Structure 1
C-alpha cells in the first residue's frame, strides 16, 4: 500500500479530482482513507433513496471514505460522506456527482497497485458491487 495525500482547490469536483489523482498515480485500486474540507455544492444519496439530495452554500466535509477503481476509461467511486450545513445540521450518505470544493479539500488515498478493483452486477444485491483481483506486477511497475 502506498499513501497519496492530495489537496483539492476551489471549484474542483471532489469525485473527479480523486479519480484523476488515482489515474495520475497509474493505479487501478485505492481507498479514500480520510477526507475533510469544504464544499459549495454537494449531493448525498441517502440509504434506499433513488435520487440524491442536493445541498448548496457553506458546507463542511466532516468525514469522507470509500473505494475507487479505474476500469479502462472510466473511474468508479463508492464514496460515503458526512457533511454539515452552515446551520450545523449533519447529513451522511453516498457521495453523488458534482460535489464542488468551496475553499479546499484534503484527502488521503491508500493506493493499492498490486490490486485491480472493478464493478460488476451482483445477483444478491442487485447493484454493481466491488470485485477484487490480484494483479501480476512486473518489477518497477505500480510505483509512485
Structure 2
C-alpha cells in the first residue's frame, strides 16, 4: 500500500478536495486511513434520508472513513460540537475547513474501485476489481 499525507487549509471544502486529490493522484483504489481537524460548516446526509443537513459553528473532526476512486467517493464523517456531542453521516459537498484537516490516504495496490449502478439499491455502488497492468498481469 502506498500512502499519501497532506493538510487542507481554512476555507477549503473537505469532500471536494479529497475527490480532487484522488483524481490528480490517479488513485484507482483509495481508503481514508485517518483525518483529524476542524470544520466551520458540516453538510451531511443522515441515514435513510435523501436531503442533507447543514450545521454552522465550530466542529472537531473525530473520524472520516471511506473509499476513493477516480470516478467518485463514498465517505462518512463523525464530528463533535462545542459540547462534545457527536453526530455523523454521509459526507456531502460544503463541509468547510475551519483551521485544518490532516489527512492520510492509502492507495491499495492491485485493486481498482469503481462506482456502478446497482439495481438492488438504486444507487451507484462500489465494485472492486483486480488491477491489471499494461502487460495484462495483475498489478501489486
Matched, 1:63 2:63: yes
Q: What's 1:91 paired with?
A: 87
After the TM superposition, which segments of 4 or more aligned residues of structure 1 sit over 6 Å from their partners? none
SS of residue matched to 2:27: coil
Supply the distance in 2 between the matched residues of 1:27 and 1:63 (Cα, whole angstroms). Answer: 21
SS of residue matched to 1:110: strand
What is the Cα deviation at residue 113 of structure 1?
A: 4.7
Q: Equivalent residues in 2 for 1:1-144 (5 A)?
A: 1-71=1-71, 76-138=72-134
Supply the distance in 2 between the matched residues of 1:113 and 1:11 (Cα, whole angstroms). Answer: 32
TM-score (normalised: structure 1): 0.86
Supply the distance in 2 between the matched residues of 1:89 and 1:40 (Cα, whole angstroms). Answer: 15
The count of aligned residue pairs is 137
What is the Cα deviation at residue 17 of structure 1?
A: 1.2
SS of residue matched to 1:21: helix
Supply the distance in 2 between the matched residues of 1:67 and 1:30 (Cα, whole angstroms). Answer: 6
Distance 1:26 1:113, change over 3 A: farther
Q: Which runs of 5+ in 1 are unaligned?
A: none
Q: Which runs of 5+ in 2 are unaligned?
A: none
Equivalent pair of 2:38/2:59 in contact (CA under 8 Å): yes
What is the Cα deviation at residue 44 of structure 1?
A: 1.3
Equivalent pair of 2:27/2:68 in contact (CA under 8 Å): no
